Amino acid sequence: MRVFIIAGEASGDKLGAALMAGLASMTDVTFDGVGGPLMQAEGLVSRFAMDELSVMGLAEILPKYRALKARVHQMAQAVIETKPDVLITIDSPDFCLRVAKLVKAKSDIRTVHYVAPTVWAWRPKRAKKMAKFIDQVLALFPFEPPFMQAAGMRCDFVGHPVVTDVLASDAERFAWAGEGPLVLVLPGSRRGEVSRLMGRFGAVVAQVAAVHPDARFVIPTTQNVTGLVQEMASKWPVPVQILPGDASGEKRGVFAAADVALAASGTVSLELAANATPMVIAYDMAWVSRMIIKRMLLVDTVTLVNLVSETRVVPEFIGKACVPEPIAAAVLDVLADPSRQHAAMALTMDRLGRGGQAPGARAARAVLQASAAARSE
């Protein structure tokens, strides 16, 4: 089986790697496309650096529009010329779905999109538009398939790879033992969001340190933003330890040992839930993106733990609310009583498939079953 696979950011790289491993365990397969270090470790030779695609928000995309548009056409042409058995695009819809649309317009190559668009949160008409060029959707969350199926696509809930993450050993966790509270700071995996959030997160850290002078602050990073984080954290008034993207053992340990995390919105909230680490979520985007999304948002929370558990126990500060003073107050509240989030985090992991078949294997099986069904039609 020949698979052309595209991911555009760190979370997609993780999903893609798990899917690739699942496919390789079930069939003879070769891979082509674009991905990050985890997908490359599974055998992908990336056609260009995945970082080029790691942009988010309308205002962030506009300055890079020409370069991204050229890459869209380049990737679509590569798929059409190599004629894979299936094109699998992972998240990054502004890029990936454009590629899939061009491919479908000029070929009958089967198209699969991994990570259902958040039509339950905003822009619900996207599902019907996708159905014109996407054959199958692999959904991370159990409430998503009905939205995709109603639009005419096959949709399989495959769970989230976070439920199979290797958690810290006792030794890795105890390595972070200390006197004061341990605070994780997670400003994101995209350069744009890191640039936007680090100043505010630094102000939060300073306020928390004023109340807890013995607090320890740690920033685990992804490889593509380590240098930027180091540069911006050097201006903080409080010392902070930065873990580079390849420090996997230390990262596991600090996620498990942390007393609280201050995190950008996104998949990282599920990693924290897997480690039963209580959190505060804060995120902002460019003004234009903020105004447009505010008008179109259909849900009252963007935090995945809140959504999956159907609770609102994780404090979040999004857009205009992303200012240091209330964020710091929330971090201090969670430090004072972290137990309020424990039940919601456990329920989230159970609903995402903890204890069942690995999501990567479920995703691979769904792709193979759908491909076989399509051939028999």
Q: Please tell me whether residues 250 and 362 are part of one structural domain.
A: no
| Cβ atoms of 159 and 356 closer than 8 Å | yes
pLDDT tens digit sequence for 36-70? 999 999 999 999 999 888 765 555 566 677 888 89
Choose between 298 and 197: higher pLDDT. Answer: 197
Spatial strand order of the sheet with 110-114 comes to 30-34, 2-7, 86-90, 110-114, 136-139, 154-157
Kindly state whether residue 335 falls inside one of the protein's structural domains. yes
Q: Please tell me whether residues 151 and 227 are part of one structural domain.
A: no
pLDDT at 264: 94
CA dist., res. 68 & res. 61, Å (int):
8
Residue 247 has pLDDT above 90, yes or no: no
Q: Please tell me whether residues 291 and 342 are part of one structural domain.
A: yes
Q: Please tell me whether residues 27 and 56 are part of one structural domain.
A: yes
pLDDT at 266: 81
Kindly state whether residue 165 falls inside one of the protein's structural domains. no
Residue bearing tokens 């893609």: 16
What's the average model confidence in pLDDT over 164-182? 93
Residue 297 has pLDDT above 70, yes or no: no
Q: Please tell me whether residues 331 and 235 are part of one structural domain.
A: yes
Residue 288 has pLDDT above 60, yes or no: no
Kindly state whether residue 202 falls inside one of the protein's structural domains. yes
Confidence of residue 286 (pLDDT cuts 50, 70, 90): low
Q: Please tell me whether residues 23 and 63 are part of one structural domain.
A: yes
Q: Please tell me whether residues 150 and 23 are part of one structural domain.
A: yes
Kindly state whether residue 75 falls inside one of the protein's structural domains. yes
CATH number for 16: 3.40.50.2000
pLDDT at 123: 72
Q: Please tell me whether residues 205 and 71 are part of one structural domain.
A: no
Residue 116 has pLDDT above 70, yes or no: yes
Question: Average pLDDT over the chain, rounded to whole?
Answer: 91
| Cβ atoms of 59 and 285 closer than 8 Å | yes
pLDDT tens digit sequence for 126-171? 899 999 999 999 999 998 999 999 999 999 999 988 898 889 999 9
Q: Which domain holds residue 303?
A: 170-351
CA 163 from centre of chain: 14
What's the average model confidence in pLDDT over 231-241? 96
Residue 298 has pLDDT above 70, yes or no: no
Kindly state whether residue 229 falls inside one of the protein's structural domains. yes
Kindly state whether residue 14 falls inside one of the protein's structural domains. yes
Which helix (H) or strand (E) is 33 found in, with range? strand 30-34
Q: Please tell me whether residues 62 and 150 are part of one structural domain.
A: yes
pLDDT at 10: 83
Kindly state whether residue 220 falls inside one of the protein's structural domains. yes
Kindly state whether residue 199 falls inside one of the protein's structural domains. yes
What total of structural domains would you count in the chain?
2
Confidence of residue 265 (pLDDT cuts 50, 70, 90): confident
Percent of the chain that is helix, strand, coil (3-state, to 5): 55, 15, 35
Across the strands, what pairs with 282? 317
pLDDT at 287: 57
Q: Please tell me whether residues 6 and 110 are part of one structural domain.
A: yes
Residue 328 has pLDDT above 60, yes or no: yes
Residue 317 has pLDDT above 80, yes or no: yes
Q: Give me the percent of the chain exceeding a pLDDT of 70.
A: 93
Q: Please tell me whether residues 215 and 340 are part of one structural domain.
A: yes
Q: Closest Cα to residue 76, out of 105, 49, 48, 114?
A: 105
Q: Please tell me whether residues 261 and 156 are part of one structural domain.
A: no
